Amino acid sequence: MVRRALVTGGASGIGLASAHRLNTDGLEVFVADVNEVQLEAVEPTVSGVGILDVSDPGAVNALVAELSPIDVLVNSAGVVGPNLPIWDVPDDGWAHTMAVNLTGTFNTMKAVLPQMRERGWGRIVNIASIAGKEGNPNLSAYSASKAGVIGLTKSVAKEVAQDGVIVNSVAPAVIATPMNEDTAQHVLDYMISKIPMGRVGQPEEVAALVSWLASDECSFSTGQAYDISGGRATY
């Protein structure tokens, strides 16, 4: 039986690298993104593409119903949000960051878990961030949203621990992705200065970890936030 994976935020960066890696692993992969997916970037790797705003629960439920059954979910959709001190963060900037990064993860997990539990097998990998563990200055919305993703992961993992469904998160440091192209240079410099390896990570390095977390080999580890930060993580 060929397993089916849904990768959100799959148009670029970690999501796209994860889609390619999961396809190499033998999965049937569908990617969804709020931005139009460039077919030349994903063909012939993926089996289907779609436009999806993960903050819209109706749209999420409709896509999951269309693609069902989904065996593997990779939640990679995300935004950086405002690069500002908290007193300058606009209310709509805070709300949008939370809606995409945290509520979007909640929406997709809620949609796929019933079918995974019914079949007795599933893997969910949520892309969090080292910012969710340690906090990055001038990225309060992003840091808080990713801390929420880690907490959500831990909670849900315990709820489904006896259902054959494994739920983990990945906490990268700064990765060379298009999402970081709009991040202020001084913020990037700060984040790189905290990495003992002294470099940014590559999407393919994160995808390799996602690959294991989405596999049968990951069988006795759930509810974790896996560090992939070049040594930055302090816990």
Percent of the chain with pLDDT over 90: 77
Q: Is the pLDDT of residue 182 over 90?
A: no
Determine, yes or no, domain membership for 181. Answer: yes
Question: Which phi and psi (to 5°) does residue 4 adopt?
Answer: -115, 135
Determine, yes or no, domain membership for 234. Answer: no
Confidence band of 73 (pLDDT split at 50, 70, 90)? very high
Percent of the chain with pLDDT over 70: 97
- One-letter amino acid identity for 169? S
Contacts of the segment 197-201: beta carbons below 8 A, 24+ positions apart: 197/230, 197/231, 198/230, 199/230, 200/173, 200/174, 200/175, 200/176, 201/172, 201/173, 201/174, 201/175, 201/176, 201/228, 201/229, 201/230
In this structure, what CATH number is given to the domain that contains residue 128? 3.40.50.720
**What is the tens place of the pLDDT at every residue in 132-159?**
999 989 999 999 999 999 999 999 999 9
Q: Could you give the number of structural domains in the chain?
A: 1
Q: Is the pLDDT of residue 181 over 90?
A: no
Does the active-site annotation cover 142?
A: yes
Determine, yes or no, domain membership for 233. Answer: no
Confidence band of 36 (pLDDT split at 50, 70, 90)? confident
Q: Is the pLDDT of residue 18 over 90?
A: yes
Determine, yes or no, domain membership for 44. Answer: yes
Which H helix or E strand runs over 185? helix 185-193
Q: Which of 142, 190, 226, 235 does the annotation list as catalytic?
A: 142
Confidence band of 39 (pLDDT split at 50, 70, 90)? low
Average pLDDT over residues 90-101: 98
Domain hosting 213: range is 4-228
